[in-house]
Amino acid sequence: MLHSTVKCFSAIVLILLSATIQCENILFLQTTPSRSHHIWNKQIFNRLYENGHNLTILTFEQEQSIPGKSFFYVPRLYARTMAEFAAENNAESVMGPIGNIINMYSFYEKASRLLAQEPVIQHLMNYPRTFKFDLIIHDFTMGQFLLGFVERFGNPPLVSVSAFNIPSYTMHLADIPVRFTTLPNYACEYGQPMNFLERISNMFYWMLDFYHRQFKFMVAEDGRVGELFGSNSTSVKIIEKRSSIVLVNSDFTMDYHQALPPNVIPVGGLHISRPEKVPQIISDFMDMPSKGVVLLSFGTNVQSEGLGKHINEAILKTFTNLPEYNFIWKHGDPESLGTVSPNILVQKWIPQGAILSDPRTKLLIGHGGLLGLQEATWYGVPTIGIPFFADQLQNVDKLVRGGGGLRLFLDELDENTLKQAIDSILLDKNYQQNMAARSRLFRKQPQPPLERAIFWIEKVLNIKGLPYLASPTQDIPFYQLYGIDLIGATILIIVTIHILCKLALSFSFNKQI
């Protein structure tokens, strides 16, 4: 009888504990108007919802609100931001590192300015000040003005996340030692180690990045915070440092060696586990006899139909002249291509992860987006990278250095160069073997990346922050952190001793005379 009573009491306690955990309110502030970033973030907020948490989510992709998961939708922010770019003639297909850095922060600033004017921001502002969010998750890729909501809702714990690898400015959120001499900036295509000239230019790129982020973009973000939340609002430079943990889309099997503090947690590839249904038309096409399937997809931000007639014709002719392979092509306007060869399937949307996971897929032709390359690496699929902007150039460079694929620039692409690249990879088994080796390293983890991300987020929720992970150097001045004051004091002491010794010797010499 006593045993039954104890069991019943234990069950009641577990139910009450579960109810306590499940009533947590989370505000998820997405900031990057990119479908790929949404896909990555979606794995996190869907799993948190499945675990019983209530979520309020700022989104740039239309989603259906349901009890416990409310979406504040901002339409066409990416299109509107890019329209401003086009008006300024800044949207170059390939740019150097300097243009890459400047244009990235220009994009961030334009997107923030447009987002700050959206009705959904005012809707959040109108929430009662007594409303409690137990946690705020912020996509720190951009949109730092949204950190004003941290103080607006009473300073709940803050978790920062980014699908953009380890952004160069992560060092401002956590105590990441950035060594300009060993860590290439995202905008350049250097390996590790770098030669002397590469180190000089890399240091310049880091300094340019630092300047545009801290002294231009973040100043503008503080201005927006002042307009929205009041002139006495805390600087977002300070608020971002309150991040309990920073989740980054990185894995060292693919990325540069970089020292990370304990509150910066790599969860690279957490999106790969998402279930995707393969449409019957794609499934039937892949069942057709062939030597294998080749997938061409430029992701969510680069559209094949926007590359021009010349490029589309070159791709089409190349695929047609390789009838022994089946080609699946993600294209927003299939009708513009006319009648295509039976070995070509053109679709407006494709389940990229599901196709790459099929062993019949032999090659990916893509733009070098990080999520796509992570999927290709996970499934061991060699890749031809055609980079356009941002981190895509460096992503493809890492791929090539690792022996997992080849690179083509858009202005080099024609029927001959594309066919040569395809033949090189499909006929040389080294590419497949290298990607298979990288796949084994990527997959061999103590826990799936998504489970690791959720574990740490819920730990922040349960403990109400993780202050013991915060670095004591966060608030130390630059000159103290790098020992400049100690070096200066040491030099001063040495110089003083040297002068005193000279004076003493001079006095002694004069006395003897």
Q: Which H, E and C letters describe 76-111, residue by residue? A: CHHHHHHHHHHHCCCCCCCCCHHHHHHHHHHHHHHH
Q: How many CB atoms lie within 10 A of CB 455?
A: 12
Peptide bond into 193 cis (omega under 30): yes
| pTM of the full structure | 0.90
244 exposed, middle or buried (CB, 10 Å; 0-12, 13-18, 19+)?
A: buried
The pLDDT value recorded for residue 103 is 92
- Taking only the tens of pLDDT, the chain with its 513 residues reads 444 444 444 433 333 344 444 569 999 999 999 999 999 999 999 999 999 999 999 999 999 999 999 999 999 999 999 998 777 764 444 468 999 999 999 999 999 999 999 999 999 999 998 899 999 999 999 999 999 999 999 999 999 999 999 999 999 999 888 888 999 999 999 999 999 999 999 999 999 999 999 999 999 999 999 999 999 999 999 999 999 999 999 999 999 999 999 999 999 999 997 778 899 999 999 999 999 999 999 988 888 988 999 999 999 999 999 999 999 999 999 999 999 999 999 999 999 999 999 999 999 999 999 999 999 999 999 999 999 988 999 999 999 999 999 999 999 999 999 999 999 999 999 999 999 999 999 999 999 999 999 999 999 999 999 999 988 877 788 788 778 899 999 999 999 999 999 888 887 776 666
Give the integer Cα–Cα distance in Å for 456 and 159: 9
Give the integer Cα–Cα distance in Å for 383 and 385: 6
Asked if residues 63 and 149 have their Cβ atoms less than 8 Å apart, the reply is no
User: Smallest Cα–Cα separation from 353: which of 341, 369, 332, 331?
Assistant: 369
The pLDDT value recorded for residue 434 is 97
Phi, psi (degrees; rounded to nearest 5) at 66:
-135, 165
Alpha helices per DSSP H over 391-481: 392-401, 415-427, 429-443, 449-463, 478-481
The pLDDT value recorded for residue 102 is 93
Give the integer Cα–Cα distance in Å for 366 and 302: 10
Give the integer Cα–Cα distance in Å for 275 and 353: 9
The pLDDT value recorded for residue 512 is 66
In what side-by-side order are the strands of the sheet with 158-162?
Answer: 69-73, 54-59, 25-29, 135-139, 158-162, 243-248, 264-266
Give the integer Cα–Cα distance in Å for 439 and 397: 18
Structure tokens at 349: 């949307």
Structure tokens at 342: 């039976």
Task: Name the β-bridge partners of 345.
Answer: 328
351 exposed, middle or buried (CB, 10 Å; 0-12, 13-18, 19+)?
A: middle
Give the integer Cα–Cα distance in Å for 16 and 19: 5
Instruction: Give me the residue label for tokens 């096409």.
Output: 285
